[in-house]
Amino acid sequence: MATRVYLGLGTNQGDKANNLTRAIDALSLALGRCTDVSAFIETAPWGFESENSFLNCAAAFETELSPLGLLDATERIERELGRTQKSAGGIYHDRIIDIDILLYGNLVVESPRLTIPHPLMHKRTFVLEPLAEIAPVTKHPAIGKSIRELLEELRENEPNITKG
């Protein structure tokens, strides 16, 4: 039986819209049916300085892959699309594509290779805004609040973020 998964995608190099579209197409082939994609939003880099803004989106898929199978597929697609290094230890850098597993059904996974839900998703407006567009009432399985609620709380705690 297929599980609904939500992925966050970002890019800040090259033809950004094309990078996201190519990633979504590749993910559809590898994972299964894409059921929804948010609008693409332009955002500032998070966690590092760069002259290149990001284009981000969220996408939902129905997949029969296991969580680790999903991770293997997303990492393979990143490499195929030209990503040469992963962020590690809180060190971020420019990248042609980044694919993060945000949610895998209602599953909570904590392993050396994979943490689901994504451990920083509730702290990032560039993740929550597009995710709230396609899954506003979906609950964060560890926190128990909807994506919309998490986004509203984040906006309330970050006065410099535009509400709207």
> Measured at the alpha carbon of residue 157, what is the angle toward residues 120 and 161, in degrees to the nearest 5?
85
> Measured at the alpha carbon of residue 6, what is the angle toward residues 115 and 100, in degrees to the nearest 5?
50
What is the Cα–Cα distance from 51 to 157, expressed in whole angstroms? 26
Known catalytic residues are 83, 95, 98, 100
Residue 137, token pair as written in the block: 């009432």
B/e letters for 86-103, b = 16+ CB within 10 Å, e = fewer, are eeeeeeeeebbbbbbbbb
Per DSSP, 119 falls in state: T
